[in-house]
Amino acid sequence: MVAMATAERCFSPRILPPRKVSLPRRPHLFRGVSVPSLGVRATTSELFTGSPRFLGRRTSAAVGLGPGRRDGVTAREPPVMEGETPVIPSGSVTARGESQVIARDDSPVMRGRDLLQWRDMPQHLQFNPYIHTGYRPLLTFWGSLASLFYLHNETINIVTHGLPILFILLVSPRVMPWSQIDSHFLAWCHIAGSISPWIGSFIYHLFMNMNLPPAFYHRLLQLDMLGIWVSQSFGALPMVCASVFCLPRILQWLLISCYCIFAIYGLFKALTASSPWNRRLCFALPFCMRNLLCVLRLTRFGGGNPLNMSNVILQDLLSVVGGAIGACNFPEKWLPGCLDYYCNSHNIMHVLVVMAVYYMYHAARSDLIWMAQGSCDRFPKVDTLSFKDDL
């Protein structure tokens, strides 16, 4: 009796009430597959790729096994009667907490060029609420590389840092006056500091939307901050050495050691910062010391090319202005949704820091030539041995 009742309950068809039709936008992906008639659970990748494991279950459904077990898989949905309109479920959950079939065409991981809005992005990518559209979906590595060839809200950020990489690699080592300078170590420090922020930022902006856990995004952010730190510490080292060039040897080492300690402390703060303002303020100590060295250059105790002050000032001034604009989200804060693709705060900051590195190059080049050819006439009692000679 129990067996007969069980068999009747398993194999007798159940009439379902009509339900609202919810068909996908791309029915060609489901050609030859009637999802509700199978009554099986399937993952999103099985649906959109036409997995043989998923398509192979049609055989057992065709012979009318009913809503029991089919090919070792428990069916949660009853079979659809002949003539009834099929319905594709969208995101229901089983009793065991497993996701049912998800047939949504707007899934962020489906197509690279289907740009999304701010509300569609994961929480770790929602860092600027004033940029409303143009977000790339979560992509693979190759999908992120392919995003170089279509427009989105990170295109300007990628281009403004990708082009300087090529320019510095091809031009900067050739235009450096190697025959006119003595310390090639300082020259290479400047070249490394000039190119490092663009490499870190280019990788960060290109691969920030990869379909990986948020920890991967934070590693990219740390790589970006590491490149900025190399630029702030090693890139400005020729200017620091030139500023203390006319001081006694012990003072030269003391001031340069203090600058290195401040730079290492700034690196630690940069890698552990949790907000845009904290990431910018972590370089405050090296920045303040460079300002003090600028004041030193104006006295008879300071060194450096006296005609180079404008470049020395602009290399830090433009960086500070760009960082402040990026942290304040200006001007998209007053024009939300209107500057999603260009002229937003991050685009402006990128352009300003590129200009800052341009002035840093001229400052370093002029100071390196001055240290090789100049003399400390403003402080005649100086020791002839200097930090440049030790390098």
pLDDT given for residue 280 in this prediction: 77
Residues 6+ apart with CB under 8 A from 110: 48, 137
pLDDT band at 68 (very low <50, low <70, confident <90, very high): very low
pLDDT band at 213 (very low <50, low <70, confident <90, very high): very high
pLDDT given for residue 99 in this prediction: 38
Q: Tokens 């060295």 appear where? A: 293
- Using alpha carbons, select from 130, 91, 96, 73 the residue that is nearest to residue 340: 130
pLDDT given for residue 351 in this prediction: 95
pLDDT given for residue 214 in this prediction: 94
Residue 118 DSSP class? G
CA dist 384 to 237, 302, 366, 381, 387, Å?
Answer: 20, 15, 21, 9, 10
- 3-state SS class at 189: helix
Binding site for Zn(2+): what residues are annotated?
A: 205, 346, 350
Q: Which residue has the higher pLDDT, 337 or 383?
A: 337
Task: Lowest mean pLDDT of 99-103, 193-197, 203-207, name the range.
Answer: 99-103
- Using alpha carbons, select from 278, 147, 127, 323 the residue that is nearest to residue 214: 127
- Using alpha carbons, select from 291, 344, 352 the residue that is nearest to residue 322: 352
Q: Which helix (H) or strand (E) holds 287?
A: helix 284-297
Q: Tokens 């202005």 appear where? A: 321
Taking the CA of residue 343 as centre, how many other CA atoms within 13 Å lie in the half-sphere pointing to its CB? 7
| Pairwise CA distance, residues 233 & 273, whole Å | 18
CB 349 within 8 A of CB 321: no
pLDDT band at 124 (very low <50, low <70, confident <90, very high): very high
Token pair in block for residue 60: 């057992």
Q: Which residue has the higher pLDDT, 105 or 217?
A: 217
Instruction: Write phi, then psi, for 324 (nearest 5 degrees).
Output: -65, -40
Binding site: what residues are annotated?
A: 205, 346, 350
| Pairwise CA distance, residues 130 & 128, whole Å | 5
Checking if the pLDDT of 59 tops 60, the result is no
| Pairwise CA distance, residues 366 & 174, whole Å | 16
Taking the CA of residue 269 as centre, how many other CA atoms within 13 Å lie in the half-sphere pointing to its CB? 18
In DSSP notation, 229-286 reads HHHHHTTTHHHHHHHTTTS-HHHHHHHHHHHHHHHHHHHHHHHH--SHHHHHHTTHHH
State mean pLDDT over 205-232. 94
C-beta contacts of 8-11 below 8 A and 24+ residues apart: 10/66, 10/67, 10/68, 11/66, 11/68
Q: Which residue has the higher pLDDT, 246 or 32?
A: 246
CB 361 within 8 A of CB 190: yes
pLDDT given for residue 327 in this prediction: 87
- Strands (DSSP E) contained in the chain are 69-70, 73-74
pLDDT > 70 in the chain, percent: 67
CA 158 to chain centre: 9
CB 354 within 8 A of CB 296: no
| Pairwise CA distance, residues 15 & 20, whole Å | 16
pLDDT given for residue 389 in this prediction: 53
CB 47 within 8 A of CB 35: yes
Checking if the pLDDT of 36 tops 80, the result is no
pLDDT for 141-158, tens place per residue?
A: 999 999 999 999 999 999
Task: Lowest mean pLDDT of 36-40, 142-146, 229-233, 326-330, name the range.
Answer: 36-40
Checking if the pLDDT of 107 tops 80, the result is no
pLDDT for 280-301, tens place per residue?
A: 788 889 999 999 999 999 998 8
| Pairwise CA distance, residues 302 & 284, whole Å | 22
pLDDT given for residue 87 in this prediction: 43
- 3-state SS class at 348: helix
pLDDT for 329-345, tens place per residue?
A: 999 999 999 999 999 99
pLDDT given for residue 268 in this prediction: 87
State mean pLDDT over 209-224. 94
CB 295 within 8 A of CB 254: no
Q: Which helix (H) or strand (E) holds 4?
A: helix 2-11
Token pair in block for residue 68: 């029991």
State mean pLDDT over 159-164. 94
Q: Which residue has the higher pLDDT, 315 or 389?
A: 315
Checking if the pLDDT of 346 tops 70, the result is yes
Q: Which residue has the higher pLDDT, 239 or 81?
A: 239
pLDDT for 232-245, tens place per residue?
A: 888 889 999 999 99
Determine the residue type at 258.
Answer: C
Checking if the pLDDT of 95 tops 90, the result is no
CB 73 within 8 A of CB 103: no
Total residues found in the chain within this entry:
391
